[in-house]
Structure 1
Amino acid sequence: MSTRTDAVAAVDPEPSSTAERLLDVGEELFAVHGIDAVSTRTITAAAGANSAALHYHFGSKEGLVEAILRRRMTALHARRQQLLDEIDDAARVDPRRVVEAIVRPLAEFVTDGGEAGRLYIRFLARLFFDRSSLLLDLAHESFPADERIAVLMQRALAPLPASLVGLRLSFAVDAHLAVLAALSRPGQGWPGPDPRFSAQEVTHALVDFLVAGLNAPVTTRAPRRRR
């Protein structure tokens, strides 16, 4: 009678190392080619794994995507919560500090995390910009600080309507992912940042830009001309 151990060995004789290889290879392929463009067969072949290994460890491609998100997100979330805790203690909410809580955890990982940081931000940007509804659900689930950020930014930008603050925050999230993903590809031209600026200077300029946009006055929409 076969045991579970025998069954596992038949699929994957070294499960922990195979799972790590699948995570690493999947992250790189998704970052370079996009989520939808990469098949499970391509991932397992590149990882040198049994064709059934991905489904054994992660259940599906979406399960692998979720696992890639979660293995980095715990540390990033803890850093973001630390920055938000510091804001909560202030009598007045400064919108710049809220923006820094959005940008800094990922920016620090991109600039200090080596190849892992560069690949992860490109993977994360792909996840958002490919706009797959299932994958977006996974991405937003992995940003549990979103609601806290929205509440703090509404306090900072009062009396702007909450709906408008939310819309501007969505612009800020997309913009910072695009810039940090470009920062991970130095020397590749647009949309890469100007090489005359350091990563720290680009990040500082990005925060300035986002704060200005979030604080922008509300303009009255011009009436349509009748034809």
Structure 2
Amino acid sequence: MLPNALSHCLNDRTEYGVIGVIGQLPQRGRRHPSYLYSMTLPTVKGEARERILLAAEELMAKYGVDGVSARSINAAAGVSAGILHYHFGGLDKVVDALLERHMMPLMAQRRAMYDSLQAQPQVTLRAVVEILVIPLARKIIEEGSAGARYVQFLARLHTDRNPKIARIFEQSFGENSSALIAMLQRILPEIPMRVLGLRLIVCSHAMLQSLADISARPQLPIAPGNASREQVLWDHVEILIEFLCGGMAAPTNLHSRFGDCET
């Protein structure tokens, strides 16, 4: 999830090797639980599309985009064969619809946080990290199961190295993506830009996987409204933010290798 401003420093495409933990793509022909192949259910106008999106989001979060089929999504949604293609045309458009329904609010939150930082006389590393973490954390804590499903879905896309991830990052920050990196460089001038870029990739992976794990824990009910539950979740988010800040600011021994990659 690295902005285009840094792509010239990553031509060898070793970023996924740095992340170190990459899930393998499930095979398309794998068997899904038998409950997915249920009888179709009656629907009212417009309901079938929403059922498909909910079923697709849950299945893709578990098995990845390449691990599900239109047939399995139709079955899980309780709709007739062919309904997915009628509404969306294919799985790729389903993924786009899932991203778009959540992306606009996230973009608005991140841009508002970024604009607020620009007005500050001094910007801290924590404030930059919070731009990455807080909007997604709010989805889990304030939107309950709907937010949890989306974060788990997004984490799976990232783990599977889905090509849409790069577009997601650019849509999240738009023209501010290069400025965000410039902020990090001003805060951490002793860290070469390429090292900052690679660390940002690692941080993005850690953030998504950690938030997805937090949202899926059975001992933390997803239904919103429980103050103690919300406090526990925010405590986990605080630990994640502290961890990411420490990783971004850690001293590096790579000046001799990456110190010349600054433009």
Structure 1, unmatched stretches of 5+, are 1-12, 189-194, 222-227
Correspondence for 1:89: 119
Correspondence for 2:181: 150
Q: Which 4+ runs in 1 deviate beyond 6 A? A: none
> Is this contact kept in 2: 1:66–1:138, CA < 8 A?
no
* TM-aligned CA distance change 1:132 to 1:76, over 3 Å: closer
Correspondence for 2:156: 126
> Is this contact kept in 2: 1:22–1:47, CA < 8 A?
yes
Correspondence for 2:249: 215
Correspondence for 2:236: 202
Report deviation, 1:38. Answer: 0.8
* TM-aligned CA distance change 1:155 to 1:218, over 3 Å: same
Report deviation, 1:154. Answer: 2.3
> Is this contact kept in 2: 1:127–1:139, CA < 8 A?
no
Counterpart residue identity of residue 110, structure 2: R
- In 2, Cα distance between the equivalents of 1:137 and 1:15? 35
- In 2, Cα distance between the equivalents of 1:68 and 1:172? 23
Correspondence for 1:73: 103
Report deviation, 1:108. Answer: 0.9
Please identify, of 117-126 and 48-57, the stretch whose mean Cα deviation from structure 2 is larger.
Answer: 48-57
> Is this contact kept in 2: 1:92–1:156, CA < 8 A?
no
Report the secondary structure of 1:178's partner residue. helix
Report deviation, 1:15. Answer: 5.7
* TM-aligned CA distance change 1:61 to 1:164, over 3 Å: same
Correspondence for 1:191: none
| Alignment of 1:54 onto 2:84 | yes
Correspondence for 2:196: 165
Percentage of identical aligned residues: 36
Correspondence for 2:213: 182
Report deviation, 1:17. Answer: 2.0
Report deviation, 1:59. Answer: 2.1
- In 2, Cα distance between the equivalents of 1:148 and 1:31? 31
Q: Which has the larger radius of gyration?
A: 1
- In 1, Cα distance between the equivalents of 2:105 and 2:45? 24
CA RMSD of aligned residues (A): 2.4
Normalised to the residue count of structure 2, the TM-score between the two structures is 0.70
| Alignment of 1:98 onto 2:128 | yes
- In 2, Cα distance between the equivalents of 1:165 and 1:21? 41
* TM-aligned CA distance change 1:204 to 1:37, over 3 Å: same
Report the secondary structure of 1:112's partner residue. helix
> Is this contact kept in 1: 2:110–2:172, CA < 8 A?
no
* TM-aligned CA distance change 1:54 to 1:147, over 3 Å: farther
Report the secondary structure of 2:66's partner residue. coil
- In 2, Cα distance between the equivalents of 1:64 and 1:139? 15
Correspondence for 2:46: 16
Structure 2, unmatched stretches of 5+, are 1-42, 220-228, 256-263
> Is this contact kept in 2: 1:28–1:123, CA < 8 A?
yes
